[in-house]
Homo-oligomer: A and B are copies of this chain.
């Protein structure tokens, strides 16, 4: 007993000492790590950020898993806490808060996550749910768009029609990252519901980005006094997006075996993982080139990769691509979720009119996605779970609102500071309530099926 107590005391002592050390060091950086030290301070800031983010992610994730909640929720909440420590005094995130590198690492994290999710799904399986996914996506874009437009008219009666349309557009997107992570954490990623949600979320992202591109085009045209966006422009934007997804899947599927056969001729180490990462990054890059989210490309890349294509490698005893990508995911994925939590400014939660706007918008966001269930005719499927799975706006909503804040119309930003806060709160709430609700819904479903 004494020995256990001593060990525990040593551990607590070490953790406290390390925390204290790190805390003090974070404040002592400025003078000590400069150019003169021989190494740029950006690397030191990134290292500090990685240390705090990885430590926070594991502490938060573990805490929530002990309460049978998905680890991703813990990563988000602990991100919110450390991002807002400045409210009670110390700001340990200041040295790396504005690090562009950490933002890109977070973005690479969500690209790797979607690649992993794509690897776990197969194209054949996706095809089986293709029509259902498409219908869910269409309903899940139209309903929130008009609901959001209406809410914006009610709360911002003075604002121009473009502002109302923009708020509506912000409500369309689905953050497939959050849902994919929850489904993965609770072991439901291979269910039919999961496939419908993931397929729909990808189609949704494409449709949302088309709406965004069109809205931004209209506002830019209005600013220059032009005639607005012609129907030909809209057609081109839509055609490019559809062309990418269908084209990359068709061409990619044909080329994959050849690419891996070519790769297997290389003598250098790590060629299987390098080839897989190249396919993933290339498709993510191509997606971003035509104006889609890079994660759409990464998901498509995972989808077209199949174990059969790289049999030459696994026959030689190499690990599968899933296993090789996993450690990179362990390193990068938590950065995305902790950073998303850190971006939340808890002090905006104090303004009642913003809170009212945010509250109604959140209800519109969740209700709008429940309309998706109208597109599901198969009664054996869990409709509520599908609607819930489509609810989190996550990073996509934040990207949308960030663009709106930078867009200017008649010398005022399209998204004002107040609207920005309201949208951020909507994004947080839809993102935070999804994991527990989705988990409850799917687990209840399991129990019902077990007792039937």
Residues in chain A within 8 A of chain B (CB atoms): 7, 10-11, 14-15, 18, 22, 25, 28-29, 32-33, 35-40, 42-44, 46-48, 50-51, 54-55, 57-58, 61-62, 65-66, 71, 100-101, 103-105, 107-108, 209, 212-213, 216-217, 220, 255, 258-259, 261-262, 266-271, 273-274, 277-278, 281-282, 284-286, 288-294, 324-331, 334, 399-400, 403, 406
- Can you spell out 14 A-B residue pairs with CB atoms less than 8 angstroms apart? A11-B262, A14-B258, A22-B282, A32-B291, A47-B294, A54-B274, A55-B278, A58-B266, A58-B268, A62-B266, A65-B267, A100-B101, A273-B330, A273-B331
Inside 8 A of A268's CB, which chain B residues have their CB? 58, 61-62, 65, 71
Question: Given A270-B330, A274-B330, A288-B44, does the pair A282, B37 have CB atoms closer than 8 Å?
Answer: no
CB A38 to nearest CB in B, in angstroms, measures 5
A-B pairs with lowest CB-CB distance, top 4: A270-B330, A37-B291, A47-B285, A61-B268
Q: How far is the CA of A326 from the CA of B42 in the complex (A)?
A: 25
With A38-B209, A44-B285, A51-B285 known, 18 other A-B pairs at CB within 8 A are A10-B258, A11-B258, A15-B262, A22-B282, A32-B291, A36-B291, A36-B403, A37-B213, A38-B292, A39-B107, A50-B277, A51-B278, A58-B266, A58-B274, A71-B268, A270-B330, A274-B331, A325-B327
Q: How far is the CA of A325 from the CA of B327 in the complex (A)?
A: 7
CB A282 to nearest CB in B, in angstroms, measures 5
**Contact, CB under 8 Å: B406 / A35:** yes
CB A314 to nearest CB in B, in angstroms, measures 15
Q: How far is the CA of A273 from the CA of B278 in the complex (A)?
A: 23
How many copies altogether? 2
**Contact, CB under 8 Å: B291 / A108:** no
Inside 8 A of A103's CB, which chain B residues have their CB? 40, 42
**Contact, CB under 8 Å: A39 / B294:** yes
Inside 8 A of A36's CB, which chain B residues have their CB? 213, 216-217, 220, 291, 403
Cβ-neighbour of A281 out of B54, B269, B326, B330 (below 8 A): B54
Q: How far is the CA of A290 from the CA of B25 in the complex (A)?
A: 10
**Contact, CB under 8 Å: B271 / A58:** yes
Question: Given A46-B108, A268-B71, does the pair A282, B51 have CB atoms closer than 8 Å?
Answer: yes
Q: How far is the CA of A329 from the CA of B270 in the complex (A)?
A: 9
The closest CB in chain B to the CB of A29 belongs to B289
Inside 8 A of A281's CB, which chain B residues have their CB? 47, 50-51, 54
**Contact, CB under 8 Å: A11 / B261:** yes
Q: How far is the CA of A291 from the CA of B325 in the complex (A)?
A: 34
CB A258 to nearest CB in B, in angstroms, measures 6
**Contact, CB under 8 Å: A42 / B267:** no
The closest CB in chain B to the CB of A46 belongs to B104
CB A253 to nearest CB in B, in angstroms, measures 13
Q: How far is the CA of A43 from the CA of B294 in the complex (A)?
A: 9
CB A77 to nearest CB in B, in angstroms, measures 14
Q: How far is the CA of A50 from the CA of B284 in the complex (A)?
A: 11
Q: How far is the CA of A437 from the CA of B284 in the complex (A)?
A: 41
**Contact, CB under 8 Å: A47 / B284:** yes
The closest CB in chain B to the CB of A208 belongs to B38
**Contact, CB under 8 Å: B399 / A38:** yes
CB A348 to nearest CB in B, in angstroms, measures 23
